[in-house]
Every structure is written in C-alpha cells, then in structure tokens.
Amino acid sequence: MRNILRRPLRVSGRLSWLAGEIVLVATAFVFQVLLRSKGSSLNARARWLQGGCRRVLRIFRTQVRVEGPIPRSGLLVSNHLSYLDILVFSSLTPSIFVAKRDVRSWPVFGWFARLGGTLFADRERRTQVGPLTQEIQSVLNDGALVILFPEGTSSDGRTVLPFKSALLEAATKCSHPLAACFIEYQLDDGDAGEEVCYWKDMTFGPHLLNLLSKKQVAVSVRFSQPLAGGADRKELAQRLHAEVVRLKGNASANPLQNR
C-alpha cells in the first residue's frame, strides 16, 4: 500500500490502461473467436488469449528472458508463482491452461481464463479427476499445448513444492510431447517473492495495485528439452519435479541480468 501512495499517478495511469486493454481484448474476442466459422475452437481461443496477454503484459513493463525450446504442443509442467505466470506463458505460445477452480471468480484474470478455454480443477472433489483427465487428453489430441502447475498452489519460489500426480494421468495415457519449465521473477524496486508471487493469504486487489506501482518486472523462463513420458503417474511426478528443480538450479546460477 505504501508503494501505491508513493506512485499514485503510475498506478492510476496503468489502471486506466488496463481498463482500455480489457475493452480492446473483449472486442478482439468477438472478431477472432465468436464470428469465426469455428467459434468454439480451442486453437482460436488460445491465439486470442496470446494476443490479449501480450497486450496486458506491457502494462507491467514486463521483460521476458527465455532459455530452451518453447513447446508448441503436448503437456508442459511448471512451478507456479503468480497469476502473471499465465500471462507470460500464453504470451510465448498459444496455450490451454489447467487452473484451480478459484481462478474462475478472479476479476479480469478469471475472465481471461474462462474465455481462453482454461480447464478448471476442483481439487476438493476427487471424483472430478477422471473427467478432467479426459478433457486434458481431448485437448492434447487436438494438437494444443496444455500447461499444468502440478504443485497445486503457488509459492514464493524459494523451493519447488512437491508435485501432485493426479492430473498427470493424462501424460501416462498418450504419446504427446512432454516438457518441464521453471519460471522466476525479479524486481529492481521490491521483493519479487512478496510483491510478484501471489501466495499465502494474499488478496488479489491490493496485490495487483501494488504490482502496478512497480517500475518493471523481469521474468526468466527456462524450458527443458523434450522428456520421455511414463506409465506410472507418481514416478512421472517425481521425475518432472526433479527436472524443474534442476532448471531452478541453473536459473540460480544465471541470475537475471542485462534486462
């Protein structure tokens, strides 16, 4: 809140900018998705979401550094730090996300997620895992890239939380490409773990306003080489977790520089 009071013009200006972008992105949805002959196509929604995320990321003065091959299809798993993760990944390649049910009700970002074809997981209903796995498989069979955050929640990025294996069942039943990723943020004028990462009992509105007060946000995204799948989802979860931890170690050895 202190940063908001220190930079009221920056925050108010960016809020106005965000409102304008929302209108433009909504208009683009009508022309790029609804008025197309295949308006329900996930590919069309993913491409629309990519364009919208690129526009919104400019508001945060985001600078993205990428290492490794960016996947174009198959299943990608990553650590999870913030709602910005979805904007960053989508800006890099058209994607369909698997997100927790709570995201549906988030202002702005929940709206983006719903229109972008996001698959929502209710982790409190174990009976939903089967149908959701079938949905993921269907999207994969359509040739899309599905991005999954198997930690099940976000963190401050200091460690990679254990991976939950339930939603990795889709990766054991298909031959689609599989990759892992590690994402991290850095601020010149703040603490990324507390002001970019969205975790603990943080409240969305104040967090967003504070983030809008920052000069810029630097992002590092490290992709693995294509990985082999596996028949056992628990073993696969452990192996993917180890790969993300390895990527984190490489990122720590090469901090964000020359932005």
pLDDT of residue 257: 44
Return left, alpha or beta for 115; rule: phi > 0 is left, psi -120 to 50 is alpha, else beta.
alpha
User: Residue 5: is its pLDDT beyond 70?
Assistant: no
Asked whether 246 and 222 are in contact (CB, 8 A), the reply is no
Domains of the chain listed by start with CATH number = 2-253 (3.40.1130)
Mean pLDDT, range 21-47, rounded to an integer:
86
pLDDT, tens only, 210-237:
999 999 999 999 999 999 887 789 999 9
The model's pTM is 0.91
Q: Which residues pair with 100 in a beta bridge?
A: 121
Pairing between β-strand 145-148 and β-strand 96-100 as defined by DSSP bridges: parallel
Q: Is the pLDDT of residue 50 over 60?
A: yes
Contact 96, 42 (CB under 8 A): yes
The CA–CA distances, whole Å, from 252 to 163, 242, 249 equal 21, 15, 5
As a whole number, the mean pLDDT across the chain is: 89
Q: Can you give the pLDDT at residue 1?
A: 56
Per-residue pLDDT band for 169 (boundaries 50, 70, 90) equals: confident
Q: What average pLDDT does this structure show over 69-74?
A: 96
Residue 38: its pLDDT value, please? 58
Decide which of 233 and 197 is more confident: 197
